[in-house]
Amino acid sequence: MLAFILGVLMVLGALWIFAMATGWGLPYMLLLQGLHWLKWNPWESLAAAAFLLLGGLLLLLKPHDNSNRTFQTPSSGGEVRISQEALEEIIARSAKALTGVMEIQSKFRERDAGLQITVSCQYEQGVLIPQLSKELKEKVKEDVELYTGIRVTEVKVLVRRLEKVHTARVR
């Protein structure tokens, strides 16, 4: 979300500069009026500066959401964490063990009751989608809970596409 907001602000700033550089007077006049307002209203200017400073500091000091997320598994005598990559590998192996599943991608969302997994996949043409999806959900939930000990609250399946199986021709 922050990246989106910063992106929008950068695009608007670039358009503003572009408009001034091409000789359009309105952005220049608005900028001058804003600077005069800041000069003649010191208390409001200080309040705006303090707000921007605090907001910037909070954004800089806020812990960043890393792509190297880990998930804690129940353990006695210490802490055991499992990386997102390891979970993705477990899910991919579980899914590809089923006949008809060709490609797989997974996303995770931690909930209070456990882990919510969303699986995006590609099936072979001709499979029964509801049946294979049910098997996939059960297999993924069972394997993740078995191998990691992490409770899975829900597995969602998104079938992205169906692909024709390419068989080798024998001459």
Cα R_g (the chain), whole angstroms:
26
Burial code of 35-45, b = ≥16 C-beta within 10 A, e = fewer? Answer: eeeeeeeeeee
* Residue 156 backbone class (left: φ over 0; alpha: ψ -120 to 50; beta: rest): beta
Residue 90 in tokens: 């477990």
Same domain, residue pair 75 and 41: no
**What's the rounded mean pLDDT across residues 113-117?**
90
Model pLDDT, residue 23: 87
Same domain, residue pair 80 and 97: yes
Question: To which residue do tokens 């200017």 refer?
Answer: 45
Same domain, residue pair 131 and 52: no
pLDDT at 4 over 90: no
Model pLDDT, residue 132: 93
Residue 58 in tokens: 């909070």
Q: What's the number of domains the chain is made of?
A: 2
pLDDT in tens, 121-161: 999 988 999 999 999 999 999 999 999 888 999 999 999 98
**Domain limits for position 9:** 2-61
> Which alpha helices (H) appear in the chain, and where do they start and end?
2-21, 25-40, 42-61, 84-96, 129-148
Percent of the chain at pLDDT > 70 equals 92
- Residues 6 or more apart in contact with residue 165 via CB below 8 angstroms: 124, 125
Model pLDDT, residue 63: 65
Taking CB atoms within 8 Å and a gap of at least 24, the contacts of 95-101 are 95/119, 95/121, 95/136, 95/139, 95/140, 97/139, 98/132, 98/135, 98/136, 98/139, 100/124, 100/127, 100/132, 101/132, 101/136
pLDDT at 168 over 80: no
Model pLDDT, residue 94: 92
pLDDT in tens, 58-108: 877 876 655 567 887 777 778 888 888 999 999 999 999 999 998 899 998
Q: Is residue 80 a part of any domain in this protein?
A: yes
Same domain, residue pair 118 and 44: no
The SS3 of residue 104 is strand
Q: Give the global pTM.
A: 0.58
Model pLDDT, residue 76: 77
Model pLDDT, residue 1: 67
Same domain, residue pair 86 and 156: yes
Q: How far apart are CA 132 and CA 13, in angstroms?
A: 50
pLDDT at 36 over 60: yes
Confidence of residue 118 (pLDDT cuts 50, 70, 90): very high
